[in-house]
Amino acid sequence: MTKQALNALHARMVFGRRIRVLSEHIASQLSGGSVLDVGCGDGTLAQAVMRLKPETQFQGIDVFLRPSVAIPAQVYDGRTIPFPDASFDWVTICDVLHHTDDPALVLAECARVARRGVVIKDHLREGPLAGPTLRLMDWVGNRGHDVRLPYNYLSRREWTAIFARLGLAPLRWEQSLGIYPAPFGLVFDRSLHFVATVAKASTGQVSRPSLQTVSAA
């Protein structure tokens, strides 16, 4: 299957509903203010959130900018966010961390520039055949855009360990998001997705991670 055909299939079957559902979940975890969307893609999700929460103002960064982006955006190196500490009220990072070799390093940078919290949408490697199912979803959704696919999926326990290591407290956690219509949700939703808000602990400091990554193996 060509990249164009793969992208068209994903857009027709998944993309529109995914944007609608995820924008509702993310908007529910944000109050007004400035928001940095890390790994913003084409900016469609951020734009949808702003429609639901017009008191938010998004800008984005990504390692590769699409030809057209719906929000102001710039390129960054994938490791160091090019803004000072506490530059934004919120940071959102949607289905990005499992594309990185070191999710803790990237998440620490998100927390560094966020005054109020970081809203994360990502995957959980939980349940029967979770790994192969997530790999299939990732390949269909991203291969046509030349997105790097390390398939670095973490369990709930591994996510919790990362939060603790970085001095982040989970404020909200949502699963069973309803991204896929019936009957596909029985396979592709389950407990494979979450949206969570994390914030710095009472010390107000986020510890820098070591170079060791919590493994998805």
Q: Look up residue 213 and give its two tokens.
A: 């990554």
92 forms bridges with which residues in the sheet? 37, 119
Taking the C-alpha atoms of residue 142 and residue 7, their distance in angstroms, rounded to an integer, is: 8
Q: How far apart are the first and last CA of the chain?
A: 29
CA neighbor of 36 nearest in space, from 66, 63, 5, 62: 62
Q: Look up residue 96 and give its two tokens.
A: 């990005």
pLDDT at 72 over 90: yes
Residue at 207 is within a domain: no
Residue at 210 is within a domain: no
Cβ atoms 56, 33 nearer than 8 A: yes
| Cα of 128 vs its chain's centroid, Å | 23
Number of Cβ atoms within 10 Å of the Cβ of 174: 15
**In the structure, what pLDDT confidence band is assigned to residue 212 with cuts at 50, 70 and 90?**
very low
If you average pLDDT over residues 95-121, what whole number do you get?
A: 97
At 197 the three-state DSSP class reads strand
If one counts the domains in the chain, the total is: 1
Residue at 81 is within a domain: yes
More confident residue, 10 or 65: 65
Residue at 212 is within a domain: no
Q: Which domain holds residue 68?
A: 3-200
Residue at 206 is within a domain: no
The whole-number pLDDT of residue 148 equals 85
DSSP string, 27-63: HHT--SEEEEEET-TTSHHHHHHHHH-TTEEEEEEES
**How does pLDDT run across 157-198, given as a tens digit for each residue?**
999 999 999 999 999 999 989 999 888 888 999 999 999 999
Residue at 211 is within a domain: no
CA neighbor of 165 nearest in space, from 197, 205, 126, 195: 205
Taking the C-alpha atoms of residue 162 and residue 168, their distance in angstroms, rounded to an integer, is: 8
**How does pLDDT run across 1-47, given as a tens digit for each residue?**
544 443 444 454 567 899 999 999 999 999 999 999 999 999 999 99
**How does pLDDT run across 77-90, given as a tens digit for each residue?**
999 999 999 999 99
Instruction: Enumerate long-range contacts of 132-137, CB under 8 Å, 24 or more apart.
Output: 133/187, 133/188, 133/192, 134/98, 134/192, 137/188, 137/192
Residue at 205 is within a domain: no
CATH code: domain of residue 178: 3.40.50.150
